[in-house]
Copies of this chain bind each other. A is one copy, B any other.
Amino acid sequence: MRTPTLSQDLYDVIARRRDVRAEFSGKPVALQTLRRVLDAAHSAPSVGHSQPWDFVLVFDEDKRDRFAEHVETERQTFADELPPDRRETFGRIKVEGIRESGLGVVVTYDPERGGQHVLGRHAIADTGLYSTCLAIQNLWLAATAEELGVGWVSFYREEFLADLVGLPDGVRPVAWLCLGHVTRLQEVPDLVRHGWRDGRPLDEAIHFESWRS
């Protein structure tokens, strides 16, 4: 059984959580720890209790290499779109830890899960995707509580990743999560630290009764 050295209080875990790129140590994650983290993800709410997510665990070095190479290409595609000053800032930012983390968790969405009549999805097709993201956030917080790091990589084409991990037709990859032990978690998010983008004050995000009030 793990003996946590940091607070497991929900608010503390939420505050400690980071999107990790550079701090993976490469030490393998114990399978029972991984299972607790996936069980937390699987405990998320879902539209019509459809639980439309799956988790493909990619340990294989060759597969992770191929994904990292693809991501590097997409990184370049994005860099090419940027004006010079932003490109320079972007150049300092590491966008993935695919090789170093030792494990990629591909989280997928299956729109067929739950049959023809998914309770709560008839008016808004995307609610199944939303459920999958709720599972991802549970996973992320559980990993943080376990003193692991998670880094969500989104510099990829969905078809490439679907093919890499053999997804059936219609099943959509939602995330590649680098998951692994870390030397530390940063206190300030990378994109703030590197001058990419500051945070927005909470008060600006809160509206009373209607957006315009």
Contacts and interface: CB of A to CB of B under 8 A. Distances in A.
Interface stretch (A22-30, A126-134, A179-187): A126-134
Contacts of A8: 9-11
B57 A207 contact: yes
A205 B51 contact: yes
Give chain A's interface secondary structure class.
Answer: mixed
A148 interface: no
Interface residues of A, number: 94
Interface string A67-109: 0000000100110011000100010010100000000000010
A189 B174 CA distance: 25
A40 to B, nearest CB: 5
Contacts of A54: 205-207, 211
Interface of A: 8-11, 13-15, 17, 19, 35-36, 38-40, 42-45, 47-51, 53-60, 63, 74, 77-78, 81-82, 86, 90, 93, 95, 108, 113-114, 117, 119-124, 126-127, 129-130, 133-134, 136-138, 140-142, 145, 152, 154-158, 165-168, 171, 174-175, 189, 191-192, 196-197, 199-200, 202, 205-213
